[in-house]
Amino acid sequence: MILVLLGTQDKSFHRLLEQIDKSIVKGTITEEVIVQAGHTKYSSPNMKIFDFVSKKELEEYVEKSSLIITHAGVGSILDGIRKCKKMIVAPRLKKYKEHTNDHQLQILKEFGELGYILPLYDFSSLDKLILKSKKFKVKKYQNTNQMINLIADYIDKNVKDVRK
């Protein structure tokens, strides 16, 4: 089962679900796809889509998943890597009105360079990353100073966004 997590942002991340839907139709994704869509309104006969599920339900989905496809939110990424899950991570971008700024690009870059995730910069390469994920070796999570700085930067940027 593939779990898709779009976080709790009040902005849509329709673009990622459209690409996942295309991968299902093409046959690249053959497993069941469960989506916690948050505030993204999307309908597809190819996926089970929930706005939100309980924390317990979400933990069960994470445990059962063979792959997580998620937005580049620190919380979603850390939850996945703590459980040694293969993850494809996509940034929400300001130009598509998916976020107020592009800080998720920095998060994506840092976690990708550390080898914890498969970063999805170009959505048209999702099929390639899904295939690559089958051989991807999950790196055991270690909280380093670099990770602490990344999270601190994330918090600083989000606090500034809220103050605007």
d(CA 30, CA 28): 6
How many CB atoms sit inside 10 A of residue 102's CB?
A: 16
pLDDT category, 72, cuts 50, 70, 90? very high
Query: Which residue segment(s) compose the domain that 92 sits in?
Result: 2-163
Q: What mean pLDDT is predicted for residues 118-127?
A: 97
Q: Quote the number of domains for the chain.
A: 1
**Is residue 139 predicted with pLDDT exceeding 90?**
no
Q: What are phi and psi of 50, to 5 degrees?
A: -120, 145
Over the stretch 91-115, which tens digit does the pLDDT of each residue have? 999 998 999 888 899 999 989 998 9
Residue 20: CB partners within 8 Å, gap ≥ 6? Answer: 4, 29, 33, 35, 47, 69, 126
Q: Please tell me the pTM assigned to this model.
A: 0.86
Rg for the chain, CA atoms, rounded: 15
Token duo for residue 144: 């380093």
pLDDT category, 9, cuts 50, 70, 90? confident
First to last CA, the chain: 40
CATH number at residue 122: 3.40.50.2000
